[in-house]
Amino acid sequence: MEVIVLAEAGYDEALLGLSLSYNINPDDTIRIEDIAKSLSTRDGGHNKFLESIVVWLDITAPRYWWQEFDTYRVGVTKQSESTMHTILKQEFTAEDFEDYINLNTIEDLNTYRHDKDFDSLKNLLPEGFLQRRIVCTNYKALRNIFKQRINHRLHQWQLFIVSVIHDLGHTEYFRDIAGTECYSKNVNI
């Protein structure tokens, strides 16, 4: 699994919007940032400014992880390396899967691919097959995901959280959720 933060946008705009709610001069950035930090942990609408901080992620993950990630639909859009359009285009190798895969399975998949037997190929594609998606989300949606998945038994969730937090521009909005170990990519997950 690989997770890369491609870009972030909207931080200054989010704080400008927050300043309107408190009738603060937008030039008083220290005061606005202090209010933002205090509100960031207060869900239920108090931290809605986090919705304006947009993040684009490049994620390559196994199908079984994507099934769980697809739970998150609000504040998240995805564009994928669709198996519908790509699965017949190249030979399968062991690198196309999260963990070890039996070489006989790879041979079988490549036979179906060669025969252009799309239905059988889709039916037999292992859950460990890696799929790449570009995900557009925001800080508020990420807080929700992190809170719900920080202690999940699939180790890919911890890898996702560590990878994203490590590369975000404003990690102060997540410190209440993720322990300090999440701020180092040297964590063994």
pLDDT per residue over 144-159, tens digit each? 999 999 999 999 999 9
| Res 182: pLDDT | 61
Q: Over pLDDT 70: what percentage of the chain?
A: 93
Q: 130 vs 81, which has greater pLDDT?
A: 130
| Res 36: pLDDT | 95
Alpha helices in 22-102 (DSSP H): 29-40, 63-69, 83-86
Measure the CA–CA gap between 15 and 172, rounded to whole angstroms.
Answer: 14
For the stretch 161-173, pLDDT in tens is 999 999 999 999 9
Measure the CA–CA gap between 120 and 118, rounded to whole angstroms.
Answer: 6
| Res 188: pLDDT | 46
| Res 189: pLDDT | 40
With tokens 């359009």, the residue in question is: 85
Total Cβ atoms within 10 A of residue 48: 15
| Res 77: pLDDT | 86
| Res 103: pLDDT | 94
Mean pLDDT of 127-138: 95
For the stretch 6-22, pLDDT in tens is 999 999 999 999 999 99
Measure the CA–CA gap between 189 and 121, rounded to whole angstroms.
Answer: 32
95 — pLDDT class (breaks 50, 70, 90): very high
For the stretch 47-64, pLDDT in tens is 999 999 999 999 999 999
pTM: 0.89
